[in-house]
Amino acid sequence: QSVLTQPPSVSAAPGQKVTISCSGSSSNIGNNYVSWYQQFPGTAPKLLIYDSDKRPSGIPDRFSGSKSGTSATLGITGLQTGDEADYYCGTWDNSLTAYVFGTGTKVTVL
């Protein structure tokens, strides 16, 4: 059972915006940077956001990240069919001395 909670699924029409929440605690999100990962079926995850709000080179600015207190949020604007994937948050947990991933969210483009 993960210590980071995400909604199982979110959906929206092409061109619209979705947000994915990641809820944690003071031992993880509250005191550490958050990363976000995108994963297509049968492939390795890909880093989308690091340090809570930064994008690696090559990631379009349609993807954004934010953090407030013990929660983090991933936003995807201008939704495209190619964005249909699973998304995971992740961060270090100081109490567990382990990296923890969120429960994962499936994005569906209607």
Partner 1 sequence: EVQLVESGGGLVQPGGSLRLSCAASGFAFSNYWMTWVRQAPGRGLEWVANIKKDGIEKYYVDSVKGRFTISRDNAKNSLFLQMNNLRAEDTAVYYCSTSLASGIDYWGQGSLVTVSS
Contact present, 72 and 31 (Cβ < 8 Å): no
x/- string (CB under 8 A) for partner 1, residues 52-91? Answer: --x-x-----------------------------x-x-x-
Pairing of strands 63-68, 71-76: antiparallel
For residue 15, the minimal CB distance to partner 1 (Å) is 28
40 contacts partner 1 (rule: CB under 8 A): no
108 contacts partner 1 (rule: CB under 8 A): no
List of residues 6+ apart from 3 with CB closer than 8 A: 24, 25, 28, 93, 96, 100
Name which position in 33, 66, 77, 94 contacts partner 1 (CB under 8 A): 33
101 contacts partner 1 (rule: CB under 8 A): yes
